[in-house]
């Protein structure tokens, strides 16, 4: 989303989906992808995931996002194996110090 209200709408939709990606604009969800397995994986077939990702990219670009793969950057934020600070379901993790930030 490009506004606080739309970002809140997208986050609340992600809670309902139990993880994934969502794009919202003007009070509506434009595109979404449910990733209910640890917020990283889906039971859906590859073709369905590919279609949803294309819809997400198109929706993000329609809101002015210039990144070619906007959701790839977001996906890496949660991977605690890549150095520096990472977001996890248990809090902010410092990979270099191998502990949670207090």
22-62, pLDDT tens digit by residue?
Answer: 999 999 999 999 999 988 899 999 999 999 999 999 999 99
pLDDT in tens, 62-78: 999 998 998 887 777 66
Residues 6+ apart with CB under 8 A from 84: 94, 95, 96
Helix (H, G, I), strand (E, B) or coil at 75: helix
Nearest CA to 71 out of 59, 89, 84 is that of 59
pTM: 0.77
Confidence of residue 80 (pLDDT cuts 50, 70, 90): low
Domain ranges of the chain: 1-66, 68-102
Q: Computed from CA positions of residues 86, 2, 65, 71, in that sequence, does the dihedral angle turn out positive or negative?
A: positive
Encoded tokens for 86: 């990472």
Contacts of residue 68, Cβ cutoff 8 Å, sequence gap at least 6: none
């Amino acid at each position: 989303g490009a506004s606080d209200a739309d970002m809140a709408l997208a986050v609340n939709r992600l809670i309902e989906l139990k993880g994934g990606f969502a794009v919202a604009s003007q009070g509506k969800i434009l595109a979404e992808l449910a990733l209910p397995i640890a917020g990283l994986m889906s039971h859906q077939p590859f073709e369905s995931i590919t279609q949803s990702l294309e819809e997400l990219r198109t929706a993000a670009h329609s809101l002015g996002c210039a990144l070619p793969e906007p959701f790839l950057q977001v996906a890496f934020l949660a991977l605690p194996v890549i150095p520096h600070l990472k977001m996890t379901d248990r809090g902010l993790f410092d990979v270099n110090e191998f502990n949670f930030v207090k």
